[in-house]
Amino acid sequence: MTLPGSPFLAYRGKELFLEDCSLDELAGRHGTPLYVYSQAAMLAALAPYQRGFAGRDHLICYAMKANANLAVLQTFARAGCGFDIVSGGELERVLAAGADPGKVVFSGVGKTRAEMRRALDAGVLCFNVESEAELEVLSQVAVAEGRTAHISLRVNPDVDANTHPYISTGLKGNKFGIAHDGALAAYRRAAELPGLAAAGIDCHIGSQITTPGPYLDALDRVLDLVEAIEATGLTLQHLDLGGGLGIRYTDEQPPAADVLIGSLLQRIDARGHGHRKVLMEPGRSLVGNAGVLLTEVLYLKPGEAKNFCVVDAAMNDLMRPAMYQAYMRIDPLRQRDETPVTYDVVGPVCESGDWLGRDRALAVQAGDRLAVLSAGAYSMSMASNYNTRGRAAEVMVRGTEAQLVRERESVADLFKGERLLA
């Protein structure tokens, strides 16, 4: 039986496999909590993006904030991808993975001078600038370094992505980007500043978008701007359409990436912009359904109002349910022939918000192991050490092979940089 979300995750008999690896066996070998990723699932998710852009001048930049494990970055770099980064640390990860910095776009609202210098030295493709103040600082840094910073302005089109407010980024009230009405003046200012060269225009309206309408609305507003900008004599080479395509957690039905790209390219061509290079920055849609979080049942705690299934994974391992009230499917690694009981699946962290799933029908006993599905994106990348808990280990599977790609943090790792008072 194949589970929703990924054809690479399925029961064989009563045992859950990712590709050709038993997840229960991996949990026994490496311990829990444990993240396990399928490389085949990642490449399968990338394939429709590549098909959609076939024959076009383009660059697919993986938005690595979704999952920044070096093996994940290496997988996408080998597949020809560039990277969308939002910090100097992410740039160092790209370089450590052996990727080409010339395929990197540097986004983010709060780039520091040190991060700008390092990115210029590394030779990133483009800075996605998010404010006029950033333009001024980047110009100063580029001049001091004797370099030219290629830029695109991230424009806020005031388009509602119809997603969770915490991951909506394209409205007037969001912190991201330059207001649509102020973009033309910002491009004029960029043309006046030394050390800068306008390369393109960027737009990103949010995450977990499951309908094409918001993309097309934002694209039309961006193309309106491009035409107004070029009417002043400036020239832009590329369109950066951002990312944000959603995945299936429950019953969502997002469009296939190649279908979405086809609609966007058709609109671009119809408006006379087919000669431009197109960048896109998918993140969640490439890795979300490629990963699972494995956890062991510690205790079953019946109660008058609720039954609790207490597991060893917690909100520090997986923040999405607590932060976004996100639904993530939970299944046993080995199925039991017993009547399910309805539980809230909760962790050991000392917070009432520490839950992974509410009202889940599960046939489990203490010592059994569970998989939290669709945990490849914004899961390990958002993990913390709250309650002095080490972050989980990570494993990448490829067919029958399973490789440990991040060791579990020990308690000693957590305070090795701290110092007692003299």
Q: What is the pLDDT of residues 332-371, one digit of tens each?
A: 999 999 999 999 999 999 999 999 999 999 999 999 999 9
Point out the annotated binding site for pyridoxal 5'-phosphate.
244, 281-284, 378
Confidence at residue 64, expressed as pLDDT on a 0 to 100 scale? 98
The CATH architecture that domain 9-38+288-414 belongs to is Beta Barrel (2.40)
At residue 160, the pLDDT reads 55
Q: Residue 21: which H helix or E strand, with range?
A: strand 21-22
The tens digit of pLDDT for each residue in 269-317 reads 999 999 999 999 999 999 999 999 999 999 999 988 999 999 999 999 9
Q: 61, 81, 309, 350: which is the annotated catalytic residue?
A: 350
pLDDT at 170 (0 to 100) = 41
The pLDDT of residue 157 is 81
350 is catalytic: yes
What b/e sequence results for 142-176 when a residue is b if at least 16 CB atoms lie within 10 Å of its CB, and e otherwise? beeeebebbbbbbbbbbbebebeeebbbbbeeeeb
At 162 the pLDDT is 53
pLDDT at 164: 41
Distance, in Å, from the CA atom of 32 to the CA atom of 55, rounded to the nearest integer, reads 45
β-sheet bridge partners, residue 245: 209
Binding residues for substrate, as ranges, are: 284, 320, 324, 351, 378
Q: Return the residue matching tokens 């993006």.
A: 49
Place of tokens 């089109």: 157
Residue that is written with structure tokens 């076009």 in the block: 56
In the chain, what are the domain boundaries?
Answer: 9-38+288-414, 107-282
Per CATH, is 107-282 categorized as 3.20.20.70?
no
What is the distance in angstroms between the CA of the first residue and the CA of the last residue of the chain?
61
Identify the segments of the chain with pLDDT beneath 50. 163-171
CA-CA distance, 60 to 136, in Å (whole number)?
Answer: 28
Q: What does the alpha-carbon distance between residue 75 and residue 139 come to, in Å, rounded to a whole number?
A: 34
With beta carbons less than 8 A apart as the criterion, state whether 334 and 317 touch. Answer: no
> What is the number of alpha carbons within 13 Å of residue 55 lying toward its C-beta?
6
Q: Quick count: other Cβ atoms within 10 Å of Cβ 409?
A: 15
Contact between 85 and 125 (Cβ < 8 Å)? no
pTM score of the predicted model: 0.94
* Binding site, annotated residues: 244, 281-284, 320, 324, 351, 378
Q: How far apart are CA 41 and CA 298, in angstroms?
A: 30
